Structure 1
Amino acid sequence: MPIRIEESKNAELLARLNYDVQDLHRQIEPTIFKSHSNEDMSKLFTEALKDKNVQAYVCYFDEQPVGYVLLGKRNLPETHFRYGYSVIYIEQICVKRSFKGKGIGKALIDTAKEYANKKGISRIELDFWSKNKKAGEFFSSQGFKTFNERMYILLDDCQRNGSRGN
């Protein structure tokens, strides 16, 4: 089956394709993520795609849209702590559940690499939810390395109010 990737400004299509990843995120972190809404996602993509530093690509498998990657060019200024640099950030990547394992994700990552090369940028970054082990394994298989980890703590009522729970 032939895979084809093309640039897209179709916010409605991206919103529909976003369903699986939004649903997965909601399963992983239901206190953070809302249920998918085509209307809300379409608005989000419409706004995002107005930015000249944002680009979306849709992957078609046998002429059916089955995934997308949303890329953002970020210019990080130099600070007292680090050098400045530019990066292509994979804001979102999604492959429909029924098409995983068919080379779609790899094709989208390859598209991100080509885009970075065209922009003269040698670094691509992304993030994913730690509980999404399959995503971590996939990104590692594509050459991505972990360089930063985030953690959190939820404070109970006693800690928030300054008491020690006595």
Structure 2
Amino acid sequence: MNINIRTAVIDDCERIRPLQKEIADLHHKGRPDLFKTEARYFTKEAFAERLNDPKHTIYIAETDNGEVIGYAFAWIVSYRNHSTYIDFDCFYIDDICVLKSHQRNGIGRKLFECCKEKAQEKKCKMIELGVWGFNKDAIAFYENCGMTDRIRRMEYRLED
């Protein structure tokens, strides 16, 4: 099966919903104390806004027969006149998702590589993302892509 990675178009707003549902289920299962059971879907307006914003990038992974099986959402975060940091741009990956039925076939890696190319093209200093501690598969995937811890965010849970 050939996989094509391309820039998203407005019609993808509806086509990515099964992926968004899988992510919502994964997060709810991992932390039901934080995540709602229902998926968060983009409105066409919100999706179009991202498509038209030059700081945002959305890639779609599609099979030869047109099935959307993965995506990556990212944007450039610009640090300027920060009290601590030097000025730089960071390519922030909000989400890489591949349908569970298509995982472990190199699709996530292809999406990550496209993000890496875009970050380099845009002269970003780094790529960063957040991943939940319960999501061991995602952590292993990102580490396999060469990512390392830069900062660790910890919590102490207060029970009701």
- TM-score, L = length of structure 2: 0.87
2:56 alignment partner, one of 39, 54, 57: 54
- Equivalent residue pairs, number: 155
Q: CA deviation at 1:92?
A: 0.9
In the alignment, structure 1 segments of 5+ residues that lack a partner are 158-166
**CA offset at residue 26 of structure 1?**
0.9
**What is the aligned counterpart of 1:102 among 82, 105, 108?**
105
* Alignment deviations for residues 14-71 of structure 1 (CA, whole Å, 9 cap, x no partner): 333212111101111112111234xx51225455445331121110134321100001
2:85 aligned residue (75, 82, 87): 82
Which region of structure 1 is more displaced relative to structure 2, 123-132 or 15-24?
15-24
Aligned to 1:119: 122
Q: Is the 8 A contact 2:89 2:123 kept in 1?
A: no
CA distance in 1, matches of 2:70, 2:108: 8
Deviation at 1:95, TM superposition (A): 0.6
Aligned-pair identity (%):
30
Contact kept in structure 2, 1:15 and 1:45, CA below 8 Å: no
CA RMSD of aligned residues (A): 1.8
Determine if contact 1:14/1:45 at 8 Å carries over to the other structure: no
Residue matched to 2:42: 42
Partner of 2:23: 21
**Contact kept in structure 2, 1:78 and 1:85, CA below 8 Å:** no
Q: Which amino acid aligns with 2:17?
A: A
Structure 1 length-normalised TM: 0.84
Residue in 1 aligned with 2:139?
A: 136
Distance 1:97 1:156, change over 3 A: closer
Aligned ranges for residues 4-15 of structure 1 at < 5 Å?
Answer: 4-9=4-9, 10-15=12-17
Q: Distance in 2 between matches of 1:73 and 1:80?
A: 19
- Aligned AA (2:105): K
